[in-house]
Amino acid sequence: MKKLEGKVAVITGGNSGIGLATAKRFVEEGAYVFITGRRQQELDAAVQQIGRNVTAVQGDVANLTDLDRLFATVQAEKGTLDIVFANAGGGEFVPLGAITEEHYDKTFNSNVKGLVFTVQKALPLLKDGSSIILNASITSIKGSEAFSVYSATKAAVRSFARTWTTDLKQRKIRVNALSPGPIATPALDGLVSPEETEQLKANLVSSVPLGRLGDPDEIAKAASFLASDESSFITGIELFVDGGAAQI
């Protein structure tokens, strides 16, 4: 029997990168997945790549009406949920002194507001004993240059894993944070100009003891572990999947 056989999962930001890799792995391991993303064309392509046992719902996690539509779809199609991977989010390099209100609001809306309400709106559908996985980042404990707003949002995500573990203990719902290091995704490529991308990657690799960027499926494997009964006595943790980048 596959480790996620018969499970129903929601993965926000499931149209690319870590979210898409996780959706693929969850389906391979027996789950039915609902994925979200802001761009319909990318969602359609993701559905084709995943191939089966997937429903795509276009929307922005920072838009509460879009979240309501997502969970109405889940309820109509499956009735209940077993797994939520609150993965959607993003960031930009902006040094202190150049931070704008627009940058602050955009980053906190997607990474914090969107995550909070994704989880809260999922609660009525989540079975007791379900698994909630929050996508954090090693930046929450690192002093990454020009990345302060993004890093602060990920510190908030780590805090939520602790407090929600307490809030949901009566329902035996497990809440864990997953903190990737530098991963080879389209989002990484989008942080800087094409001319600067290779230098950025070289700088990141130099900080990783294993000497390379991570692959999105390596994060997906960790998410699968936290989603499954293999981690049945694990809650409130931050699982670093970073090649050692934040550990030494």
Domains of the chain: 8-241 (3.40.50.720)
- Own/partner pairs for 190-197, CB < 8 Å, 24+ apart? 191/91, 191/92, 191/93, 192/93
Query: 10-30 pLDDT, tens per residue?
Result: 999 999 999 999 999 999 999
Do the Cβ atoms of 197 and 2 come closer than 8 Å?
A: no
CA distances from 126 to 58, 86, 91, 131 (A): 21, 14, 29, 9
Enclosing H/E stretch for 245? none
Query: Is the entire prediction scored with pTM above 0.85?
Result: yes
Give tens-digit pLDDT for 202-241.
999 999 999 999 999 999 999 999 999 999 999 999 999 9
What positions carry a catalytic annotation?
Answer: 150
Instruction: Write phi, then psi, for 131 (nearest 5 degrees).
Output: -125, 130
What is the model's pLDDT at position 69? 98
What's at 80, amino acid-wise? T
Query: Using CA atoms, how far apart are residues 99 and 95, in angstroms rounded to an integer?
Result: 7
- Distance CA(36)–CA(20), nearest Å, equals 10
